[in-house]
Amino acid sequence: GENVEQHPSTLSVQEGDSAVIKCTYSDSASNYFPWYKQELGKRPQLIIDIRSNVGEKKDQRIAVTLNKTAKHFSLHITETQPEDSAVYFCAASANTGTASKLTFGTGTRLQVTL
């Protein structure tokens, strides 16, 4: 089955700096890659996703890049703010019709300091 690795496990940046989180996946059939943000005691919230027919996607301060050949994808957060502090999870799935099982990475705890 799919295996998703995520790095780093913790990341501390100063407010205004950029943060980058990287994930690699093993199943070449995976074609959908979402990113979730989970604040303490809250549900995971989808912040951005990318499909395998696109190499990059951007939404304001957040961007995701995908390299299908190398089987890795990354989350980029620019101009970080204290409210960006949370745990971020990457995930991958191979949509084979109606089924879309997500395999999650181990998470990155991002701390944005003042």
Applying CB under 8 A, which residues contact another protein? Answer: 1, 32, 34, 36, 42-46, 49, 89, 93, 95, 98-107
Min. distance of Cβ 44 from another protein in angstroms?
A: 5
* 27 versus 49: smaller Cβ distance to another protein: 49
Can you say whether the dihedral through the CA atoms of 101, 92, 47, 112 is positive or negative? positive
Answer whether 80's CB lies under 8 Å from 16's CB.
yes
33 burial class (0-12, 13-18, 19+ CB within 10 angstroms)? buried
* 78 versus 111: smaller Cβ distance to another protein: 111
Min. distance of Cβ 79 from another protein in angstroms?
A: 26
